[in-house]
Amino acid sequence: DAGVIQSPRHEVTEMGQEVTLRCKPISGHNSLFWYRQTMMRGLELLIYFNNNVPIDDSGMPEDRFSAKMPNASFSTLKIQPSEPRDSAVYFCASSSGWGSEAFFGQGTRLTVV
């Protein structure tokens, strides 16, 4: 398996624009997690899915953020409208069950100017 695949790797956008980040989890994994990494706050859990169903979105900072998982092999994280304070590295991770490790993608570095 190629691992967790995220796209794009880098995204530069202007304030107010819509941004969509994409993730393909490892085949067979039933849980998918979206994290945001910043220097000050470390790795924050934004939302996670189990069997394509959103379980906990309490980490989503504002209504400008939304996430979907239409099927077991694809998820998106959307920011609309984007703001400069959204600039961070966004990671997607997947895992196969309780007690297993979380496998991370390479991340998307988002810069909002």
Partner 1 sequence: GEDVEQSLFLSVREGDSSVINCTYTDSSSTYLYWYKQEPGAGLQLLTYIFSNMDMKQDQRLTVLLNKKDKHLSLRIADTQTGDSAIYFCAESMRFSGTYKYIFGTGTRLKVLA
Q: What are phi and psi of 84, to 5 degrees?
A: -55, -35
By CB under 8 A, tell whether 43 contacts partner 1: yes
Contact window for partner 1 (CB under 8 A) among 11-19, 21-29, 71-79, 95-103: 95-103
The first and second tokens of residue 65, run together, are 């953020």
Judged by CB under 8 A, does residue 50 bind partner 1? yes
Instruction: Please choose, out of 19-27, 34-42, 65-73, 80-88, the segment that lies near partner 1 by the rule CB under 8 A.
Output: 34-42
Q: Quote the CA–CA distance of 48 and 113 in Å, as a whole number.
A: 28
CA angle at residue 65 from 64 to 69, to 5 degrees? 140
CB 90: neighbour CB atoms within 10 A? 22
Number of neighbouring beta carbons within 10 Å of residue 77: 23
Nearest CA among 2, 36, 4, 1 for reference residue 104? 4
Q: Which of 42, 63, 70, 71 binds partner 1 (CB under 8 A)?
A: 42
What x/- string results for residues 61 through 90 when contact with partner 1 is judged by CB under 8 A?
Answer: ------------------------------
Interacting residues with partner 1 (CB under 8 A): 4, 31, 33, 35, 41-43, 45, 48, 50, 55-56, 91, 93, 95, 98-99, 101-102, 104-107
